[in-house]
Homo-oligomer: A and B are copies of this chain.
Amino acid sequence: MISTKGRYALRMVIDFARQGEEACVPLREVAERQGISVKYLEQLASLLIQADILRSVRGPHGGYVLIRPPEETNVGDILRAAEGSCAPVACLEADFGVCPRRSECETFSFWEGLDKAIEAYVDGVTVADLVPVH
């Protein structure tokens, strides 16, 4: 299940995109519009910076800017940045290593298929698809 991290991160990015291309938007404004605390958004923004989705401008009139236009940022990248992973089971996460039951596991290929279906969907939607036309 997707937690508030992923859900709020997506809403934040959509909010940025709505303010216009290359707009520098402070979290105070996003927090007010979205009803989420600045402090929590800060943590999510930091994850999105690490994932090269946002960049920041410090000081007065500072804020965050989308690195790429909304059409070039897909939702999968945002969710993976915020959640760590979109994998439906732990054994499919990057840092899990090799499962000791792997060779005898009859469900592994099923989970792999589910993971692919999820990735295909989330990577097939861009932020632009979710920003209402002005």
Contacts and interface: CB of A to CB of B under 8 A. Distances in A.
A106 B88 contact: no
A31 interface: no
B106 A14 contact: yes
Interface string A7-43: 1001100100000000000000000000000000000
A122 interface: yes
A14 to B, nearest CB: 5
Interface stretch (A50-58, A61-69, A110-118): A110-118
Contact of A1 (B10, B75, B90, B113): B90
Given A89-B1, A89-B7, A118-B118, A125 B107 contact: no
B11 A107 contact: yes
Interface residues of A, number: 27
Interface string A85-128: 00111100000000000000011001101100110111001000
Contacts of A10: 107, 110
Given A1-B87, A88-B2, A121 B117 contact: yes
Closest 6 CB pairs of A and B: A117-B121, A2-B88, A14-B106, A2-B89, A106-B130, A114-B121
Given A1-B87, A2-B111, A114-B121, 5 more contacts: A10-B110, A11-B107, A110-B125, A113-B125, A114-B122
